[in-house]
Structure 1
Amino acid sequence: MKSWKWMQALVLSLIVVMLVTACGKSSESTESGGSAEGSAVTITLLNSKGEIQSQLEEAAKAFKEDNPNITMEIIPVPAGQSPFEKASALYASGNPATITMLDTGDVEKFKDRILDLSGEKWMADAVDRSTALTTFDGKNYAFPLAIEGYGFIYNKTVVDQAVGGTFDPATINTTGALEELFKKIEASGKAPLIVSPMDWSLGAHYLPLAYAGQSADTAAVAQFVTDLKAGKVDLAGNIVFNGLLDTFDLMAKYNIDKASPLSGTYERGPEVLGKGEVGIWFQGNWAWPQISSFDTASGQYGFLPVPVSNNADDFGNTQISSAVSKRLVLDKEKNTAEQQAAAKKFLEWMVYSDKGQDFLVNKANIIPAFKNITLEAKDPLAKSISDYIAKGKTQDSMSTLPADHWAKVGASMQKYLAGAADRTVLTKEIQEYWKSVK
């Protein structure tokens, strides 16, 4: 009988030891974000930069090489759908992504559902003002993924030929100078430019230059938008707004697709620019991967500002629009502590590992928002934007516009481009949109 009781005690002791050991490993796994042996974790990233979908998928593989027990799946936002809409739909279904790529203006809408990232290591290396627009009540809720800029992209081979020598981009600092360049390109036998008619390009990038161009003082720009909402702005009499539309009229006049201005697609732009069929395309540095696949100019491209007047000293005529355009946020409602830790590890991996930095700068052609990343961009468009930034020749992009701005106002811009609405109608529709914003 004593022998049997001794055996029972031994078995119970072994069970206790096994349970304690298992609990210890489980705790270790949770704290390490799923990197402990046998504690596999899967996270998801909702990608709203469609042009880097394949690069993100490759980054996920490279990240897994360094973190074998973390699998990251990349979910694309469908074409034509805003990241706000897709993220909202995923939350409504109870299945939000672990990491969501949002436009800057959308971060605040999700702040009660996402993690406070103020204590993360990379906060100390973020460039100045890069987290200001995603900080609420002293807490930063987003990772600044990319600084992007946009304006007129020029093919140097085409414009050099048109001007009969080496083109100096600094000479294009007025609306008149821009038209002269268009005329010279046309006289050389090439189309001056292509206007891509997507609502996001017209509504989220082009028209907002009229808001940002009101002043070099960002507080004054914010007040202008507030006054727009309150119906206190008369756009019909606004000098910057009308100057920007004068430039847009020139673009429509010299557009390679002017016979059918709404027939163009995003994919057509990089093809005709890269092949040298047109000299200029209004777009951003995110387009380099597509341009490079058609490049006949040996990588010689750069940016021109979008002039709004014939006074070279006016703000906007020599500045490029740039800002942190995309943010990564981490869900705290449905994803587990292990998934959250794994997601944080991915953010650090991008900022501090050689593979992560290579992904940002060389693979995705992103201008990083971190001072510690010193890799020089090989991408000529990123180089051009970086040069404008270094010279202090930038205008803050409108990063906090309402989520439906680009779709609704972009549709009005499309009508104007197609000749289905005149300037009076366009102006009225834009003002009515702003009055409807809650």
Structure 2
Amino acid sequence: MRKQLKVAISLVCLMMFIGCSASPVSQQTTKITLLNSKSEIKTQLEELAKQYNQEHPEASLEIITAPEGTSAYQKLMSMYGSGSPATMSMLDPGDTQTFLDKAVDLSKEKWVADTIEHGLDTVKKNDTVLGFPFAVEGYGLIYNKKVLDKAAGGTFDASSVNSRSSLNSLMAKIQKSGVAPVMLSPMDWSLGSHLLALAYSVQPGGVPEFVKGMQNNSIDLSQNNIMSGWVQTLDLLKDNNINKHAPLDSTYEDGSKALGEGKVGLWFMGNWAWNGIKSNDTANEEYGFLPLPLNDNTDDPINSKITVGVTKYIFIDSTTTTPQQQEEAKKFLNWLVYEKSGQELLVNKVNVIPAFKNIDLVPSDPLSKSIKSYMSSGKTLPFMATLPPDHGGITGASIQSYISGKIDKAELLRQIRIYWKAQQG
């Protein structure tokens, strides 16, 4: 009897083992995270991640957006300090340089060959590709066409602005039509990393030589024609600013609201601002970009160009991520470039101008279309991609002091030179 019981128990155990073995093994989900440095597309990226997770149940992608007012660079430094960096991090080109020694080698990825010319220059180290070019962006003077048509007394011709004098004339016409000419937003990243960088990018000897000249005192900024012209253009923006009596009081959101509602004709900003403008525009008006002229020479090509370049790169962490997480991160990046759903979400949902030649989709928003037009006609200036991480904060603060009347031109230029001299160490 005891022997029969043992046999019965053995048979039950065997059946249970066979049954367990026959049941499907649950698929393990690999969690990956993306640190987002573009707070204005937080919602869109979260929707993109949701779609990706539905199509790829083996992965769980989470978007971590740096809080407003906190740079993604600072956020990532903190994450590394605590030993828990994101799987992928989206940063400005200059900020990315700090982390390239922690990045996964992406040289063998298919999209490397499909990247636009010079799109990988700033994320290469000894010919090794360490970053993914996420977005091409551009900036200049965004215009509300309805406001400018009224000011011009007909159809506004964007090509008519090709000198500081012609921009001054346009602003006078806008003012006469009863609308404030321009919004000059006071954020340090806009003033320092974008507005000031425009003067660097067109220096005849190139940016490295220009910086070197400031550091060894061989260049006197007050005698530099481009810098002098830049200050005069800054004065034009300052004097025609809708908030000229309180130039530091407006916010980024105030700019999109003022332009979208037609309270200003121009706003110095980039195409990343489209969602904000659109949300404030109930009449679905037309918009585009004008260059920011730096002199009065109508034949100078820089007066007819806007700044365009790859402005965000994604790198995959190699220090704490598992091989599986690295592979899932690579799959996600390839999905953005080669899968139809990824392309459409990137271009039409996130409103990104892709940095890949194989993607034919053009964002539907007018600002991206305007940038593509400048690109196709060869009228672009290089985006200053590798400014030091603190450049915007420090030089932007100096420009804030200037536009609020606390310092004069000589002091502004002195502070810019002092900033670059401090970089020598």
Q: TM-score range by the shorter chain?
A: over 0.9
Is 1:369 aligned to residue 369 of structure 2?
Answer: no
Once residues 174 and 64 of structure 1 are traced to their aligned partners in structure 2, the CA distance between those partners, rounded to angstroms, is: 50
Backbone CA RMSD of aligned residues? 2.3
Q: Which residue of 2 aligns with 1:307?
A: 293
Is 1:118 aligned to residue 137 of structure 2?
Answer: no
Q: Where in structure 1 are there 5+ consecutive unaligned residues? A: 26-35
**CA shift for structure 1 position 259:** 1.2
Stretch of structure 1 that moved more, 222-231 or 244-253:
222-231
| Residue aligned with 1:166, SS | coil
- How many residues of Structure 1 are paired with residues of Structure 2 in the alignment? 416
Q: Which residue of 2 aligns with 1:242?
A: 228
Once residues 433 and 328 of structure 1 are traced to their aligned partners in structure 2, the CA distance between those partners, rounded to angstroms, is: 28
| Residue aligned with 1:207, SS | helix
Once residues 344 and 47 of structure 1 are traced to their aligned partners in structure 2, the CA distance between those partners, rounded to angstroms, is: 17
Question: What amino acid maps onto 1:262 in structure 2?
Answer: L
Once residues 103 and 241 of structure 2 are traced to their aligned partners in structure 1, the CA distance between those partners, rounded to angstroms, is: 44
1:83 paired residue among 72, 87, 95: 72
8 Å Cα contact 1:276-1:296 kept in structure 2: no
Is 1:66 aligned to residue 55 of structure 2?
Answer: yes
Q: Which residue of 1 aligns with 2:132?
A: 143
Q: Which residue of 2 aligns with 1:199?
A: 188
8 Å Cα contact 1:273-1:281 kept in structure 2: yes
**CA shift for structure 1 position 426:** 0.5
Structure 1 residues 364-405: Cα deviation after superposition (integer angstroms, max 9, x where no partner)? 111100011111221100000110010000000111000000
Q: Which residue of 2 aligns with 1:415?
A: 401
Once residues 229 and 369 of structure 1 are traced to their aligned partners in structure 2, the CA distance between those partners, rounded to angstroms, is: 34
Once residues 406 and 326 of structure 1 are traced to their aligned partners in structure 2, the CA distance between those partners, rounded to angstroms, is: 16
Structure 1 residues 246-284: Cα deviation after superposition (integer angstroms, max 9, x where no partner)? 011011111111111100000000111011111000000
1:386 paired residue among 343, 352, 372: 372
Once residues 319 and 346 of structure 2 are traced to their aligned partners in structure 1, the CA distance between those partners, rounded to angstroms, is: 28
Once residues 216 and 393 of structure 2 are traced to their aligned partners in structure 1, the CA distance between those partners, rounded to angstroms, is: 21
Stretch of structure 1 that moved more, 414-423 or 314-323:
314-323
8 Å Cα contact 1:37-1:69 kept in structure 2: no
Q: Which residue of 2 aligns with 1:352?
A: 338
8 Å Cα contact 2:174-2:181 kept in structure 1: yes
| Residue aligned with 2:79, SS | helix
**CA shift for structure 1 position 233:** 2.1
**CA shift for structure 1 position 296:** 4.6
Q: Where in structure 2 are there 5+ consecutive unaligned residues? A: none
Q: Which residue of 1 aligns with 2:34?
A: 45
Question: What amino acid maps onto 1:348 in structure 2?
Answer: N
8 Å Cα contact 2:34-2:90 kept in structure 1: yes
Once residues 34 and 43 of structure 2 are traced to their aligned partners in structure 1, the CA distance between those partners, rounded to angstroms, is: 13
**CA shift for structure 1 position 346:** 0.8
> Cα gap change, 1:101/1:236 in structure 2, threshold over 3 Å: closer, same or farther?
same
Is 1:272 aligned to residue 258 of structure 2?
Answer: yes
8 Å Cα contact 2:146-2:285 kept in structure 1: no
Q: Percent identity?
A: 46
Once residues 334 and 309 of structure 2 are traced to their aligned partners in structure 1, the CA distance between those partners, rounded to angstroms, is: 21
Structure 1 residues 28-63: Cα deviation after superposition (integer angstroms, max 9, x where no partner)? xxxxxxxx9511111111100111000010001000
TM-score normalized with structure 1 length: 0.90
TM-score normalized with structure 2 length: 0.93
> Cα gap change, 1:315/1:239 in structure 2, threshold over 3 Å: closer, same or farther?
farther
